[in-house]
Amino acid sequence: MIHQDNNERALHLLQTVFGYPAFRGQQGEIVGHVAGGGDALVLMPTGGGKSLCYQIPALLRDGVGVVVSPLIALMQDQVDALEEVGVRAAFLNSTQTYEEASRIERLVRTGEIDLVYVAPERLMTERCLNLFQNSNIALFAIDEAHCVSQWGHDFRPEYIKLSILHEQFPNVPRIALTATADPQTRAEIVHRLQLGDAAQFVSSFDRPNIRYSIVEKGNGRKQLLDFITAEHGGDCGIVYCLSRKKVEETAEFLNENGVRALAYHAGMDHAKRAANQAKFLREENIVMCATIAFGMGIDKPDVRFVCHLDLPKSIEGYYQETGRAGRDGGPADAWMAYGLQDVVLQRRMIDESEADETFKRVLGNKLDAMLGLCETLSCRRVRLLDYFGEQAGPCGNCDTCLIPPVSFDGTVPVQKILSTVYRVDQRFAAGHVIDVLRGQETERIKTWHHDSLSVFGIGADRSEQEWRAILRQVIALGLLTVDHEQYSSLKLTDAARPVLKGGQKVQLRQYQKPVKAKPSRAAKGYVESDLSGEEQRIFDRLRSWRMGTAREHNVAAYIIFNDATLREIAKARPTALDDLRGISGVGEKKLASYGDEIVNLISELE
C-alpha cells in the first residue's frame, strides 16, 4: 500500500497540476496501488478519468512513464494537453523525423521527461526495447487494452505481443486500461498481457448523462436531420455509418441542409482524413460523419450527441462509440435509426466472413445481444449494463422509460409470416413474402402463382412498415434466418416449429410510426440550463476567448479549458487570481498562463 506521504503527494499533484479538488470513484485507490509498484487492470467508462490513473503514478515514481497507445493520430493532442498543465511529455511514432525521434530518445534516457507515448509497433522494435532497457522506467500504461482481444470489436494483432513487457521488465508496474470489456474480453486481457496477479478495478459502466434512443428506421437521413435540428442545432456530434459511401453521402446531405459536417473513413486520402479530424477536435459546432475508423481515444469533452444510421456489430462497439458523447458530464444523446435491413445486413456479414465457425458463433451471439438491446420492451440502460454484468433499476432517461413501448401478443401475425415463408418454399426474400402476406398482385407474384396460395392476403390488415417491423423481430428472435447464398431468401429455423404449432407464444413491440422530432430547446447550440442570463453571457464570451487562445497555441479548444470549467468560472465571476483557485480544471500552470486574461475579461463584462 502507498505511504501516507505519497497519498498526500498524489492529492497535491491532482490539485496543483491538473486542477481537480479530489479523486473520483476508484481513482485514488488505483493511483496508490500503481505508485506503490502494483500491476492493475482498470475498467472505467469513457470520460471517467482513466488517464489520471497512470499520469499521477508516473509523476510520483522515479523515471519515465511509458504509455502504449494505438492512437498515433491523437498523440499530439495528448502531449499538448499535458504540456498545458506543466507535465513534460512527448511521443515516439512514425510521424517524426529521425532527428526528432533521437532528441526524444535522449530525453527518455536522461530522465528529462515525465511521460512518453509510443505505438505498440514502435515499442516492439529492438531499438525501442533497448532504449527502455537502458532507461529508468516508472511504469508501463497499456491504453485501450481491449485491443488485445481477438473476440473484441477492435482487435489489434500487435497488442498480443505486449506480454513482452512482463518478461523483459518484471519489476516495472504495468497498468492496462479500457473503457469497455465484457467478462470474456476481460479474461483475455489478463491472459494475453500476463496480468494474473494484477489488481482489478471495475467502475460502473453507467453514463447517466447519456439518453439512449432507438427509433424505427424510415428515411434514415431525414430522421437524422430532424433529430439534429430539433435537439442539437449548432452542437458538436458524431454520426456513424457502416460504409464509406454512406459516410460521404450523409455528410453531403447534412451540409446541403445547413448542418456543418465533415467525413472520415479509412479510404480517404491520409492528409484529408487527418485535417478533418484536427478540425473536429479543434473547432466547435462540427458534426463528424464517420465509419468506426474514427473515434477511439477521442477526448473531445463537448460532443453532445452520437448517432448511428446503421446497427453496430456488438454492444461493446455501441457502448464505446456512444461513450464519446457527454464526456464533460453534461447532457448528451445516443440516437440510432434501426430497421429490418440492418438485421439482414449484419447477419449476412457474419455468414460471409472468412472466420471459422467458433468465431462466427461468437459474432452471432454478440449481434443477438445488440438486437436484444434494440428490441427490448424494458429500460435500455438496464439491458446495456446487464451485458457488462452490472445490475441497475430503470433509468427514467431512455426512450423506453420516457415513452414505454406497447407490447402485444404477436403469436398470430408471427404464425402468418412463418406460414407464408413455408408456403413460398423458403425461396424468397423479405419484400416478396410481405407482398404475398398483404395480397399485392405484383408481376412476380403472378409469375410464381403465389396469388393462389392460401396465405395470399392474410395480412392485408397491416401496412408494409408494420410487417417489416414484425419480420425484423422474428429474425431477431431466431425464428427465421436469411440465406444469402440464395438471394437473401427467408428460411425457417428449428425454433419456429413450436410457434407454428401453437405451443409457444410470442410477445412483440407494437410498431411506432416515425414522427418528426419537435424542437426541445428554444435556442440554437448548447445552452447551460443552470446558468442565469448574465452567467450565460460570460460563458459565451469565455468560449469565444478560448477559441482564439486555442488557435494562437495551435491546440484543441478543450485543452485550454473544457466547458465544465468555463461554466464554473462563469458562475464564480472571479475578480482576482485567487478566486480561480479551487475551480475544477484550473491548476497552477493554467492559472499562471490564463488567470489574468480571464479576470480582465470578466471585469470588462461586469
Span 285-343, pLDDT tens digits: 899 999 987 866 677 888 999 999 999 999 988 998 998 999 888 899 999 999 888 98
The three cell numbers locating residue 323: 461513450
311 within 8 A of 276, measured Cβ to Cβ:
no
Write down the domain spans for the chain.
Answer: 4-202, 210-402, 407-509, 533-605
Distance separating alpha carbons of residues 562 and 433, to the nearest angstrom: 53
Inform me whether the pLDDT recorded for 195 exceeds 70. yes
Q: What is the largest CA-CA distance in the chain?
A: 86
Mean pLDDT across the chain, nearest whole number?
Answer: 89
CA distances from 67 to 114, 175, 334 (A): 11, 9, 30
CA distances from 573 to 13, 32, 548, 560 (A): 25, 35, 20, 18
Helix (H) or strand (E) holding 73: helix 72-84
Q: Which CATH number fits domain 407-509: 3.40.50.2020, 1.10.10.10, 3.40.50.300, 1.10.630.10?
A: 1.10.10.10
Residues 6+ apart with CB under 8 A from 253: 221, 225
Q: Which pairing describes strands 480-483 and 489-492: parallel, antiparallel, or unpaired?
A: antiparallel
Task: Provide, for the chain, the percentages of residues in helix, strand and coil under a 3-state DSSP scheme, each rounded to the nearest 5.
Answer: 50, 15, 40
Per CATH, which fold does 533-605 belong to?
DNA polymerase; domain 1 (1.10.150)
Per CATH, which fold does 210-402 belong to?
Rossmann fold (3.40.50)
Distance separating alpha carbons of residues 131 and 452, to the nearest angstrom: 79
Q: What is the pLDDT of residues 387-406, one digit of tens each?
A: 988 899 999 989 999 989 88
Name the pLDDT band for 556 (thresholds 50, 70, 90): confident
Inform me whether the pLDDT recorded for 153 exceeds 80. no
Grid-cell match 532528441, residue found: 103
Q: What is the pLDDT of residues 232-250, one digit of tens each?
A: 998 999 999 999 999 999 9
Helix (H) or strand (E) holding 409: strand 407-409
* pTM of the predicted protein model: 0.83
Distance separating alpha carbons of residues 18 and 569, to the nearest angstrom: 16
What DSSP string runs through 415-463? HHHHHHHHHTTT---HHHHHHHHHT---HHHHHTTGGGSTTTTTTTTS-
- Name the class of domain 4-202: alpha beta
- Identical fold for domains 4-202 and 210-402, yes or no, is yes
Inform me whether the pLDDT recorded for 530 exceeds 80. no
What DSSP string runs through 314-380? -HHHHHHHHTTS-TTSS-EEEEEEE-HHHHHHHHHHHHHS---HHHHHHHHHHHHHHHHHHH-SS-H
- Mean pLDDT of the 527-538 span: 77
- Pick left, alpha or beta for residue 164 (phi over 0 → left; psi -120 to 50 → alpha; otherwise beta): alpha
Rounded to 5°, angle at Cα 561 from 558 and 562: 60
Residues 6+ apart with CB under 8 A from 52: 14, 18, 20, 23, 27, 31
